[in-house]
Structure 1
């Protein structure tokens, strides 16, 4: 595959704003999930980002103003990411950079609030509700492109919880095809009532902070996040700006769609295993070469059991793995980009994060699930995202040299 590297990166979640804050959260093992006060009545615990409501939004782009794009803007203005994109734009040209975003719910909160504010049930939405600029799935990449003055291809990936992981794959294809020289890859998903109520109605929300892979796990904690990377060819240009979170090579990727059920994973894990195997094959690596796996690990009975089966079928019990959703909550379509940045932190620090909140691994599991952090040599790491509807994506990262 085309030799692709990440030259800039940023992420924001309940873990903190930016790569350094996220790193501190992991190293100091901060408890960041909090009782759900986003709605009434609340459901369990959530990973809420502080300051979204008061973040100054660009005056020239107020037509895009919604919680999801505010979250995205907070990430864009963190870790020197915008400056890195401007440098790349000066080299490649604004028309040669793509914007590939993953999101599951986009800015649906704005429409929810507009419906709730109607004077009666059959009243129309007010004329100032710009659906196409807020809730529409194209809103996020169009906002990012407008914010950064990028005119290359824009694309939204909405593959449920695998959305921003899949965005890496489509960006790699676009660069390899010659349609662009670089891509801003990432995603954002923000808290909204549909997500919180929807997962609660499925009986998937834990009353306590989520405990991925734990013998007594009881469900997920919903979170919100945004993150971005700049993906480009390794020989694309010289670089002088080195923001936090840069310095990874995208070595391989794989995707599959098993279509087992609308909201339940295939219990055999065959689709997830297929995505991981394709990523290994594309990277030219044997399973034993992987040093750490960042799991999808939602904390539900069905997902974690399926994922363990899938990993064990390829890796046995030889590869350390963990889910970091005990810190961030499940950030839906943004989980892939957030957890890719966590993989970057792990590789930079040679530090394997553990399953926050988890105390005892499910005795039926075969994988090497980390209940405590571990230091170790990390050359190759895998990031997995497995979404509703059987959408599965896996990424493999390695060092620049």
Structure 2
């Protein structure tokens, strides 16, 4: 990471359609659990696709009354869990004059109040993208910089990058980076109008894939400078090593088939991390299950890594959670580094020959690696990649020459 101090992850949290915590989500991913079912949030009868991945009983996820609409209530317990794992007490942070902030990525923001108005009802709470971060600031008492990132389906990764910048620039001492989106009629109808959704299961990289499936959820990670974390006795779970961003503006909805923007983002992340591409043993793919996205990402992966990388997508398990997707995937990357297991791409029957990458299909893969890359893309040609590394590695100056070691297949 050049001359910058190491940024570490000291806590993680997640709420997903297959798990109410980061750990239960992780176990469900390894077991191949799918959250797909008929939509309950609204009547989907007018659509060809009537299934998605929703979270049950979010009202019981926190001990205290949660403010705001559904998106806020999805995010709050994930942030609570991440802060708890990091052993951070916000009151103590304030007393110690340590600056704490939060950066939230989202696509739809707090959309439920607007949908209530559309249906002729009085909204129960304020709506909009920025209201979620306001609720988080007031609930937890963050006293530093609070950001909302709305770069659609790459927003989680961009929130992580923004939080990393705040720490490296010395503008914050603790940052929570998060992503959240709730299931909404507006998003569902929008993707349906693009004919981007599958009528059955989401099958990333499969020859018979028919599109994406919408999901909802949240993910959160706590970031600190390593010296600060160790000074207060916190144990780093992983290291946030670098990120890469690009905007190719190829098309408002379709990815660039040449994948040049994605390739640039991956290469920039590797450069910022100060490692070689051989140090990366696994890529958490954006892998939406749409024909164009999966082909584009396969082109990018082969261009950067040739045949040396394994990859998978968890969107068959939890659907495409929009702004939450890459935040949840960052949590999954931390779990993968710690456990030595990589999650599978479920629902695969026959891999698309136009996606010639090494996809982990249907069963988890036992594999220890020092570094993982996670990709996320968004409409308008927004491309993002982050790199997360193990917290402790023997002979760390040899990372450039240590590829991941595959133990089982």
Q: Scaled by the length of structure 2, what TM-score is found?
A: 0.89
- The partner residue of 1:50 within 44, 51, 56 is 56
For residue 46 of structure 1, give the secondary structure of its aligned residue in structure 2: strand
Aligned to 1:166: 158
Superposition RMSD in Å: 2.1
For residue 58 of structure 2, give the secondary structure of its aligned residue in structure 1: coil
Verify the 8 A CA contact 2:12 2:81 in the aligned structure 1.
no
Please report how far the alpha carbon of residue 81 of structure 1 lies from its aligned counterpart in structure 2 after TM superposition. 3.0
Please report how far the alpha carbon of residue 93 of structure 1 lies from its aligned counterpart in structure 2 after TM superposition. 4.4
Verify the 8 A CA contact 1:261 1:389 in the aligned structure 2.
yes
Aligned to 2:32: 29
For residue 396 of structure 1, give the secondary structure of its aligned residue in structure 2: strand
Aligned to 1:376: 367
- The partner residue of 2:117 within 114, 117, 122 is 114
Aligned to 1:142: 134
Structure 1 portions without partners, runs of 5+: 119-125
Verify the 8 A CA contact 1:188 1:226 in the aligned structure 2.
yes
The CA distance in 1 between the partners of 2:133 and 2:85, in whole Å, is 15
Verify the 8 A CA contact 1:94 1:151 in the aligned structure 2.
no
Aligned to 1:101: 104
Aligned to 2:391: 400
Aligned to 2:221: 229
- The partner residue of 2:324 within 328, 334, 340 is 334
Please report how far the alpha carbon of residue 41 of structure 1 lies from its aligned counterpart in structure 2 after TM superposition. 2.6
Please report how far the alpha carbon of residue 333 of structure 1 lies from its aligned counterpart in structure 2 after TM superposition. 0.3
Q: 1:314 to 1:241 in 2, by over 3 A?
A: closer
Aligned to 1:15: 18
Structure 2 portions without partners, runs of 5+: 393-409
- The partner residue of 1:255 within 235, 239, 245 is 245
Q: 1:216 to 1:145 in 2, by over 3 A?
A: same
Q: How does 1:2-401 map to 2 (within 5 A)?
A: 2=4, 3-42=6-45, 43-53=49-59, 58-59=64-65, 62=67, 65-78=68-81, 81=84, 84-86=87-89, 89-90=92-93, 93=96, 96-118=99-121, 126=122, 130-131=125-126, 135-237=127-229, 238-240=231-233, 247-371=237-361, 372-401=363-392
The CA distance in 1 between the partners of 2:16 and 2:246, in whole Å, is 27
Q: 1:54 to 1:249 in 2, by over 3 A?
A: closer
Please report how far the alpha carbon of residue 36 of structure 1 lies from its aligned counterpart in structure 2 after TM superposition. 2.3
> What number of residue pairs does the alignment pair up?
384
The CA distance in 2 between the partners of 1:25 and 1:129, in whole Å, is 33
Q: 1:277 to 1:241 in 2, by over 3 A?
A: closer
Aligned to 1:121: none
Q: 1:38 to 1:149 in 2, by over 3 A?
A: same
The CA distance in 2 between the partners of 1:136 and 1:359, in whole Å, is 40
The CA distance in 2 between the partners of 1:179 and 1:101, in whole Å, is 17
Verify the 8 A CA contact 2:196 2:211 in the aligned structure 1.
yes
List per-residue Cα deviations over 1:152-182 (Å, max 9, x = no partner): 0111111110001111111111112111112
Q: 1:322 to 1:130 in 2, by over 3 A?
A: same
